[in-house]
Amino acid sequence: MKIIAIGDTHGRTIWQQIVEKEKDADKIVFIGDYFDSHDNISGDIQIQNFENLLQFKRDNPKQVILLFCNHDYHYIVDEAYSGYNRIYASQFGEVIKKAISENLVQMCYKIGEAIFTHAGITNQWLQNNGYYDLDDEKNMQDFINDKFRYKPLAFRFVGQNPYGDSIEASPIWVRPKSLMQDPPKFEELTQIVGHTHQNLTTIDRGDKLKYAFIDSLELNEKGRVYSSYLELEIDEHVTSGEDHKIQSFQIKRI
């Protein structure tokens, strides 16, 4: 199974070129941040780009995963983070809430050992929100997505660090240092996240992919602007304890 993971969008349309290039992908996961452009993209164009993403999801409901994130979240709660667009706040909020009501966006996607969120999942956040207190072993993906749907305030900004670098921070806020300091203890996972802008970086432990940081849709290297994304190959063959293992991964550019 081929999975393509695309970093923070922020109104950019480069995702369309990636999708066109990777037509044979079985899954395409968008890591979020659909609004709050860093590139002076107008609010109207950001809305249209998001509408195009939503239509892509409607047309390919099983193939396309749209994750939710902090730069979309602050348009549905009474908080405003860096980049908040006060002029378009009402319009952004309207299309975001519509997407939520249609179940087109989610907070977490998990397949086998690979788990995708906007920023990452810490053990402390899970504990603070009752994951380990459940009577039955609930799937982590379902737990996080249910929190988003029924208790969205669980994803508010918390912690003393103004940048979100705290193990208490939610899956739309935690930063790489804290994420790697306090991974979930419940099961061994490979976390694929965006949120913190950097070169697409993968961290291995032995021969196992542990983290991939993919907020890399626009980077400048020696005067050349490029975008990069992640390709994963995941085993679909079910054998004892070996189903849906990551077989290979690579960084690709466009």
**For position 185, what pLDDT does the model report?**
83
Reported as a single tens digit per residue, the pLDDT across 93-135 is 999 999 999 999 999 999 988 999 999 999 999 999 998 766 5
| For residues 205-233, average pLDDT | 83
Domain 2-253 is in which class?
Answer: alpha beta
**For position 79, what pLDDT does the model report?**
85
- Maximum pairwise Cα distance, the chain: 55
Interior angle at CA 158, CA 156 and CA 161, nearest 5: 135
Residue 185, number of CB atoms within 10 A of its CB = 10
Band of residue 81 on the pLDDT scale cut at 50, 70, 90: confident
| For residues 13-34, average pLDDT | 96
Q: Which residue has the tokens 């999708």?
A: 19
Indicate the Cα dihedral angle 83, 167, 117, 49, nearest 10°.
0
pTM reported for the whole predicted model: 0.92
Residue 241 has pLDDT above 50, yes or no: no
One-letter amino acid for residue 45 of the chain: I
Main-chain phi, psi angles of 94, to 5 degrees: -65, -50
The mean predicted confidence, pLDDT, of the chain is 90
Residue 171, number of CB atoms within 10 A of its CB = 30
Residue 78 has pLDDT above 90, yes or no: no
Q: Which residue has the tokens 């504990």?
A: 127
Enumerate the domain spans of the chain.
Answer: 2-253
Band of residue 136 on the pLDDT scale cut at 50, 70, 90: low
Band of residue 26 on the pLDDT scale cut at 50, 70, 90: very high
24: left (phi over 0), alpha (psi -120 to 50) or beta: alpha
Q: How far is CA 39 from CA 87, 151, 214, in A?
A: 16, 33, 18
d(CA 52, CA 68): 16
